[in-house]
């Protein structure tokens, strides 16, 4: 249809009103009003029809395909936004013909259409980004990537470009002028300071692989101790082990110190590092009677017998006077206990023998002598790890008296009461 034919059909009411004797001004006004109402009605009906048709067509198509990308397109309202384009094009095409006699209104309506088109373009772009995010989140390769941050960054750029075009459309100023860009940059830096910091931080977090979704992190300053569930432009969400959620500013991950347990999760074991404190006044040399009793402990019987032969041979060679135990070489109950702990850990099937396994004697303290156990459990799950660690120290605490050793603990009210009763009975 040519422009002349379209103009003829749109103005036939105007000619009819004039033929009926109506004033030309009123005839133009009524003709324009009726055409505008008809266009509004047609555009609304067309929008509803096209939207339902496109949405149903997309759903039918997605049901028949094996890929999930089109399913996410439907969920992100991509077909709905695309359906708005057809009636929008129709209105944009007909407005100049309908409001031919009212150029000011025509200009306003065309600007409104352009504004709506800019906003609609951003919404379509957002739906595509959300579709990509949802699609990639279910791919194993991208499950630990901060996709939400990338989406938010791209959306900021999209809205920024849209804002420049809107300013140009409403004011007529060029978005490429140095003055406009300078003023806009100053405003954006002031308003989006935290967002820009988050943007820089999210890039560094991703490039340097500082944190991934699914990592267990501990950030004492914010009370976070759990798994990272989301990394966005401004915040990192952590689901704590008590099922609460903590949000941490993304910038804090590169400006402050926190603990990431990923290395432990990916390693061959989880470290056990804990000490028991032995009272120093219970440490002594072992007599022959003590050695014969300790030989009954199967784990260290070979060790005691081997050490006994070596020590006896050495003492005979130097003619040590064994009427005093301090002379020559001797075994101590603490030394044998340390060897027992080492043998016990090597026999424990829950301990990874390929990683560090050490029982060390540390510097004495006011609480006694620390005997530190350093080893790694095969099972890294928190609950099982705690059970393994508890079983080890339950056994060692119970085993210490067999070696004539006492473990340190602060005296309690009951201990003071018992001491007081002993003092009273002895005085009487």
Per-residue model confidence (pLDDT) at position 293: 93
Cα gap 284→336, rounded to integer Å: 11
Kindly give the pairing relationship between strand 235-240 and strand 224-231. Answer: antiparallel
Secondary structure element (H or E) that encloses residue 276, with its range: strand 270-278
Q: What is the pLDDT of residue 6?
A: 63
pLDDT the model gives residue 65:
67
Residue 65's contacts (CB-CB under 8 Å, 6 or more residues apart) are: none
pTM, two decimals, is 0.56
The CATH number that domain 144-266 falls under is 2.30.30.60
Q: Residue 394 in 3-state DSSP?
A: helix
- pLDDT at position 186 is 61
Q: What is the pLDDT of residue 93?
A: 82
Exposure string over 13-49, b if 16+ CB within 10 A, otherwise e: bbeebeeeeeeeeebbbebbeebbeebeeebeeebee
Tokens of 179: 């003055």
Domain limits of the chain?
Answer: 1-143, 144-266, 270-284+332-414
Q: What is the pLDDT of residue 55?
A: 76
Class of domain 270-284+332-414: alpha beta
Q: What is the pLDDT of residue 59?
A: 73
d(C-alpha 384, C-alpha 378), whole Å: 10
For 295, residues 6+ apart whose C-beta sits below 8 A from its C-beta are 301, 304, 305
pLDDT for 272: 94
Tokens of 148: 């939400």
pLDDT (tens place) for every residue of the chain, 428 residues total: 565 666 656 676 667 667 777 777 777 778 778 878 888 888 888 888 888 888 777 777 766 666 677 777 777 778 788 888 888 888 888 887 777 777 888 888 888 888 888 888 888 888 888 888 888 877 777 766 667 777 777 787 788 788 878 877 777 666 555 455 565 566 655 556 666 677 777 777 777 778 888 888 999 889 899 999 888 777 889 999 888 999 988 888 888 889 888 888 788 889 999 999 999 999 999 999 999 999 999 999 999 999 999 999 999 999 888 888 889 999 999 999 999 999 999 999 999 999 999 999 999 999 999 999 999 999 988 889 999 999 999 999 999 999 999 999 887 666 666 665 566 555 55
């Amino acid at each position: 249809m040519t422009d002349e034919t379209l103009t003829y059909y749109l103005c036939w009411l105007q000619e009819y009103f004039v033929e009926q004797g109506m004033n030309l001004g009123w005839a133009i006004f009524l003709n324009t009003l009726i055409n505008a109402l008809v266009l509004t009605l047609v555009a609304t009906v067309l929008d509803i029809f096209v939207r339902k048709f496109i949405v149903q067509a997309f759903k039918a198509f997605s049901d028949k395909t094996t890929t999930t990308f089109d399913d996410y397109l439907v969920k992100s309202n991509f077909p709905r936004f695309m359906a708005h384009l057809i009636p929008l094009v129709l209105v944009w095409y007909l407005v100049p013909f309908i409001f031919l006699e009212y150029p000011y209104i025509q200009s306003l309506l065309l600007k409104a259409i352009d504004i709506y088109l800019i906003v609609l373009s951003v919404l379509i772009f957002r739906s595509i980004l959300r579709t990509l995010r949802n699609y990639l989140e279910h791919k194993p390769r991208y499950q630990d990537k901060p996709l939400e941050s990338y989406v938010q960054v791209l959306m900021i750029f999209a809205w920024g470009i849209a804002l420049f075009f809107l300013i140009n459309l409403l004011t007529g100023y060029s978005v490429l002028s140095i003055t406009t860009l300078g003023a806009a940059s100053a405003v954006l830096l002031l308003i989006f300071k935290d967002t820009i910091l988050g943007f820089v931080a999210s890039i560094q977090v991703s490039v340097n692989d500082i944190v991934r979704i699914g990592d267990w992190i501990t950030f004492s300053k914010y009370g976070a101790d759990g798994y990272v569930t989301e990394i966005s432009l401004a915040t990192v969400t952590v689901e704590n082990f008590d099922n609460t959620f903590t949000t941490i500013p993304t910038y804090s991950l590169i400006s402050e110190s926190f603990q990431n347990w990923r290395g432990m999760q990916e390693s061959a074991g989880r470290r056990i590092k804990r000490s028991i404190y032995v009272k120093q006044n219970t440490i002594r040399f072992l007599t022959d009677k003590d050695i014969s009793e300790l030989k009954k402990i199967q784990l260290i019987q070979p060790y005691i017998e081997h050490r006994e032969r070596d020590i006896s041979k050495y003492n005979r060679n130097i003619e040590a006077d064994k009427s005093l135990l301090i002379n020559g070489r001797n075994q101590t109950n603490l030394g044998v206990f340390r060897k027992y702990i080492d043998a016990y850990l090597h026999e424990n099937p829950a301990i990874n023998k390929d990683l560090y396994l050490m029982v060390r004697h540390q510097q004495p303290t006011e609480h006694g002598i620390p005997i530190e156990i350093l080893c790694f459990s095969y099972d890294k799950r928190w609950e099982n790890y705690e059970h393994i660690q508890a079983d080890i120290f339950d056994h060692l605490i119970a085993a210490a008296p067999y070696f004539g050793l006492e473990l340190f603990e602060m005296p309690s009210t009951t201990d003071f009461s018992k001491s007081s009763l002993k003092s009273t009975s002895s005085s009487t």
